[in-house]
Structure 1
Amino acid sequence: RAILRHDPDIILVGEIRDVETAEIAAQAALTGHLVLSTLHTNDAPSSLTRLLDMGLADYLVSATLNGAAAQRLVRRLCPACSRPGTIEPEMLARLGVPDPESWLSGADVRRAVGCTQCHQTGYRGRTAILEILEMTDAIRRLLVEHADTRTIRERATRDGMRSLLLDGLDKVRAGVTTLEEVLRVAHGGSIAGGM
């Protein structure tokens, strides 16, 4: 609370773990400050319901939140040893890819091999897969109605949110990482029509 007396333009809150911290962050946002923070959730839509579950009033979440982002790190394929790989169209269909054959055409699908440069892992470095939920009027209404995470996710996808899985599939298609790696960190979710 003392930080507000210094009239900052941007406030960074390390992590919101309890309702008191959430309320202070929301009050700061209501007074025109840009507040950035973190929450431990599985995806961006879960951040909204987590704030409600903590006990933050629905009108505060709806009025102060501009968006939520989720990220996961996936291992990057080693450029020295990765080799062309394959993905069965049936697997892509199970993941919700609408036209697997089209997705595969022009794809640079690679597989991990292992060499001395990557210590026989097949991977070197990491890259982020992202999910960004922009608050729309429809999502604000869902918050006030206390909609569940699944309903919020479906609405956000219709509004243009790309899931962690979809962003990961883009990186698989570009030869940056493997499907196995994306599924390992994206919890094997569905793209839910986000293509």
Structure 2
Amino acid sequence: MGNSMAWFIRFNKPYDVLSQFTDRGSAGSSRQTLSDFIDLPGVYPAGRLDRDSEGLMLLTDDGRLQARIADPRHKMAKTYWAQVEGIPDAAALRALAEGVDLNDGRTRPARARLIDTPPDLWPRNPPIRVRKSVPDSWIELTIREGRNRQVRRMTAAVGHPTLRLIRARIGDWTIDGLAPGQWETLPAPAHPRSGH
């Protein structure tokens, strides 16, 4: 039969889970990894998601597809929901959209807007620490680059530290309908023909 069927799945990564299949941390550590949730042989994440972030990951056993999704040169848009301290004003949102100066250079143009609390949002375990004296709000941020901890650094740079971060969309794929820890198989996207 051969390996004609490539696996392509979407997964809602829970908080505090490593975005890899093995924990290369200290001996005896028992951090949860992807293998606690996904039992398919030979699939690998197409890109990573920080341990303290939640939400959409795509995994595949097709190396070309993995590279296409993960490679920052392809500028695949990624949309995040960030729960932040305070309520960003128009200037803060404009700064996020136009570019924020971080220690590794200015961020590329992005889309940023205030949103209501996302519908069907699952509780985080453990819950975020809220300060009664500080209101919080949600921002939807769409970026086309993937620097280390970029969204958290961007919101902090405009004075609104991120309390909770969820990746809601990668390209055409969304988190819709997936509970934390759930995954499902998808039809693999067609490979673009080279040379056209």
Note whether the superposition's TM-score is higher than 0.5. Answer: no
Instruction: Give the alignment's TM-score, normalised by structure 2.
Output: 0.27
Greater RCO, 1 or 2 (C-alpha within 8 Å, sep 6+): 2
Higher strand share: 2
Higher helix share: 1
Larger Rg: 1
